[in-house]
Structure 1
Amino acid sequence: MALAQGDLEEIGRYVREHIPEWMGEEGRVSLIREFDLRERIVRVEEELKHQREPMEQGFALMEKRFEQVEKHFEPMDKRFEQTDKHFESMDRRFETLNQRMDHFMVWSFGLTISATGILLAAIKYLH
């Protein structure tokens, strides 16, 4: 169904007459929405401020607690250092003992070879 030229002109005139009215209502609605949004933003920001203070206090308390725990572990660190020193001295003793054992093994091996040689020579001599 096609519209006649006169009908189109009448529709155009009607739209032009009512656009300012429609836009005004639309503008008011958008202003009200914008005001509501801004009010909500302000309320959220205020609530965040109120939450920030307890959170900062909680973090400060946690920091103090961590410091107390660290102080509790300091004596244990000293004990571990003493234990490390003890193990180092034991390592030195074992190294010394190993060196002595190595010398003993060399001397023992040498004496065994020498004794075997002497015994073989004596056996040869006695036959």
Structure 2
Amino acid sequence: MARLLLILALVATVFWVYTIVDCAVQPAGRHRGVNKGAWMAIVILLPVLGGILWFVIGRGRASQPMVRRAPDDDPEFLGRMSDTARADQDERIRRLEEELAQLDSEADDPRAPKPTDDPGDIPGKGDDDTLGQRGSVG
């Protein structure tokens, strides 16, 4: 008989801890009856009875599953974006495009020196031999 009471006490304790954790992790919108704090008090102060009440009355069912979306696919997120943030982003893109166009025009400038493959065209480079020893007699 003592073993049975010990097993029942263990099961009741596990059930009590489970209901406390379950009540604590549920979102506030999924509690029925009273608010989350009151349910926590009921579950903690009335160990087994509070847990039974929690599962029968207090724990609400999810009305619809939560769908995760990327921010650019979420209409709520896009609606919260301010016009100033979009304007700042557009201005930044415009400036970057201008800088890129300026760099492209500098590369196409015929007055710019062209790179050469002949080291003799570069002053001071034509004196070196293949080992990089300047002025050695060989």
More helix per residue: 1 or 2? Answer: 1
Name the TM-score, length of structure 2 as normaliser: 0.30
Could you say which structure has the larger radius of gyration? 1
Name the TM-score, length of structure 1 as normaliser: 0.31
> With CA pairs under 8 Å and 6+ residues apart, which has the higher RCO, 1 or 2?
2
